[in-house]
Structure 1
Amino acid sequence: MKQLQRFIFLVYFFVASIPFCFGAQSDLVEQQQIDKVLLSLKLELETAKKDSASVITAQKHLQLGKYYQKARVYNEALEQYNNALTLVQKYDTLTVFLKNEIGVIYLSLKNSSKAKDYFNESILISSRIKYVKGEAKARSFLGSCYEKEGEYLEALQYQKESLSLFKKLGNKEGLAIVNENIGSIYEDLEQYNLAYEYFKKADEYFKKINENSRIGVLNNLGDINRKTGNYSVALTYTNNAYKLAVQFQDMYELKSAHKDLSKTYGLIGDFKKAFDHLLEAERINEELISSQNINQLNTLQAVYETKQKETQINSLLQQKKISRANQDLLLVIFGTTVLMVGILFVYFRRKRKENLKLQKYKQRMLKAELERKAFEEKNLQHEVHVKTSALSRYSLHISQKNKILSDLSLTLTNMVDRKNIDVNANIKKLIKEINFNLHQEREWVEFNNFFEEIHPDFIKKLSLLSEENLSPAELRLGMLLRLNLSSKEIASILRVTPDSVRVARYRLRKKLPIDQKEELVNFMIAL
């Protein structure tokens, strides 16, 4: 065992000291190829944005995202996938595909938590739209997340659910991949018999699809046999994987084959072959790392150059314009000055005309508004005058009616004194009716209504100003004073003596906050 450890240490020490370089011409060709592909994809995307439906544009974002993902420029890939998601419906097969790809990127970045979020969303959408293939893939990816976290029971559960869905579809590629994933989990659990069983199933499915897909499974079968001590069988499987990797120029699987062969030969004691294969595995690994780094760097450079290209073109065009303009600078300045002066002249002249028109328009509008208000005020004054005259006439009418009725009542009373029995009964009846009519309040109701139309707030203001509650008789007196009637006229209307009116005025004055020098009539008119 110590001899094997010493051997491995020497191999790694030797490999670490190997110089590594790349040809500048090869790098240039690769950079040009990346620029060409990226430019083509960008052009297709811009064309789709202008001329195509949103779904087509989303597919172009997806193609560009796959390109970035393959180059391991994950930030750009995520941006393209997210842009595509904004263009497609939530419940769509393309949405499922995009979420699965985003989850795979986060899984590659060892962000299992975020990856699981996307795979779970993909499962929910697939289940709702009955997209079985998308759900099967999402469950398989979710199983891989749990495997990376060491949660093998959950990993097996999701992989077997995925396997069941792929069986329902009869999808051989999906069955092959999931069987290989399950075998990998059992290998981690050191349940080699079960791992071998699932790896064999995966190999059978891959045989029906293409030979290239078998390489990884053959390496896994070699691992299982090596771990269980079947070294000769392990070498057979690994050598078959090696041959297919060489045939299809799959450098990743070729590296794995060399590494597995190195381990197997080391275990059977053939250290020279173990050393040779390990050395070759490390050489290929260095090439792959360098190639990946260069490819990633070239892609990033292409992305940067693509984003800067438009700015550079605009800058060059601007410089060209400036160079040409310098030759005619004085002429341009003179022409610009003349043009600006002309434009300013025309602008201010037009502005002045517009201001004059606006002022005239405002003046006409103001004049029309003043005329309208004057007309309205004249109408209101006329209406008030008419109503005031009518109210005065109505008051006079009441006064005259009361006087006539009083005179008639007096005459009829005198007639009663005469000794005419036949006439007396009828005259008494007439007197009774006249006196009854004199006490009717209907005229006062009509008078009140008429008064309130002309002076709507008078009663309210008078009541608020009074220190004590005003009686109906006092309110009537106030209304008659508001009409600027004399005490004699008021006495006639109220059917009282002028002395009674003076007493009533005095009592009303005491209840109101009136200055001693102010006339009661003026106070009422001012309300």
Structure 2
Amino acid sequence: MKLKYLLIYCILFICTLSPAQNTLIDGLKNQLSGDDISTAEKFRIYNELTEYYRVSDQYPTAEKYVQQQLELARKEKNAAEEVKALAQKGIIKLNQSEYDQVPPIIDAANTIVQKSNDKIALLYASYLNIYYSNALGNPESTIKLVQKTLPLVEKQPSEIMLNAKLNYLLYGIYTEWNDAENATKYAKKAIELAEKSGNKNLLSSAYSALAICYSFRYEKTEDLKDLKPVIEMCKKAIALYHQFPGHVSAHVHAMALLNLTNYYLSYPEMTPEIRSEIQTNANEILNLTQYTTLNQGMQAGALGVLSNLASRDHNDALAEQYLLKAEQILLTQKPVYYHVMINVVKNLAELYAQQKKYQKAFEYESKVAEYSHILFDEGQAETAKRLEAQYQSQKKESELKALTEKTASLKKEKLLYIGLGIIGLIGAFFMFLSYHFKLRYSIERENKLDTEKHEAEMQIKLQEEEKARLKAEQELLTLQQQKLQSEVLASHLHIQHKNKVLQQLQTQLSDTDINIHQVVKGENRVDNDFEKIRFTIQELHPDFFKNINERARQKLTALDLKYCAYMYLGMDTKQIANLLNVEPKSVRMTKYRLKKKFGLDENTALEIFFQRIFSE
């Protein structure tokens, strides 16, 4: 993508959702100071004011409203509004390239989400993470995060603006990749959502975005019919400022005018009507930017347009005047916007060369080289900061991954111990049942044995009693028998006497005989056993650090990785020493040590070695 479109996209993205400068913002401030305003209305106003001052680069004022929103959200225990404020705070830090201050803010937002389980808070915490990934230059990772978050946002009808921001961000990424199809798709989606939200400021920016998408085709064909839809979208963006007074900021309107003017300048033949419109637009930009902040880039752009028109009229003096004024305006901005400044001084050098003022031409050519060098150094420093932030982010992700794996392992181990404990309890329960059963069986058996013993003792006692009874009866029988025998004997004697008498009478009467008979006779007992037990039981270069670690023959330390990143960026020994606040001698020693770790000879430059790795 050409540089001018990249700059236009960056400015448009910063300007997105900027409220109208006078009537709308003043009205919001007046509402905020009222006594009868509801808490929900206060949150809405804080969000709009913070967004306005942030996109206007008035960061201290934006942070003031963020702090007020945070205090109110904590007082009301409103997790969603607290995370919204933290997201704004993180974006402000990223816009100022303070990458190292953003991770703690992301952690704070994630903690609130975990404690509250609030869906809206989750969406804004995700948005901050997406913005951070994009700022670190990780477009692939950013797209994955957006695609993961967008379906959740679409389920929340109240978050149309957040939905629009995410689609606008995707448009920007695909624009940088020169992917006209996807860029157009997401720009149209942003327009659709902006229309639903009623935010004319966002709608104007989205129209300008679609104009950039259409310009890709015109750049390839250079056919005027392909330029017409580009002009049409630019005019739609401009028309909103007049159709809805106070709803489109001066900054966004000025940007739309500058876009249209630049496209008009690409016409092969400039008609009087187009020239007049270009002149009017440039003057309107200069008038509008009197009321906006950090506007030097757009003012210089408008003056550049007027200088172009003067050059077409062969009025070199007027063209020089406009360019010199643009240079003076750009120098008032701190830091200087060198992207535009280089174009201005280059045009001045070319103008002086045409006028054969070689001394001034050389002077401005020198400025071109100077500003290009400064811009390169700024870019290197910015890249180094991003690399450092990317390294810390990857390190944190690795630590988080290791912690997650450890937590999962501990969880599995805990579950295993719980399972073992449950099994142990079950085993103990069955052991208790078994013991209880055995004890009961033993008691029952003991009782049975006691009973049997008692019964046996009773049987013996009964037998002894029966024996004694029988003995007594026997003795009685014996006595009776003795008595009977005595009686029999007496009777016998008597009989004998009788017999004797009868014998004596036998002869006279008859013979007699006597007989006696007596008879007595006695009886047997059963045993059982049981037992049972049971047992039952784990984005400068996404792969930069990975690749150099793979090439190293010895393990690289965190400091080694930093040195490698700086040398890959092309920094010399002095620059690295200044950046790390060490002696150049220390840097040279580290380079020597790194060569040994990579197995390089002394004549091989590490910078060339790293470049060769990533060119393969």
Normalising TM by the smaller chain, what interval? Answer: 0.3 to 0.5
Larger relative contact order (Cα-Cα within 8 Å, sequence gap ≥ 6)? 2
**Higher helix proportion, which one?**
1
If the length of structure 2 is used for normalisation, what is the TM-score?
Answer: 0.40
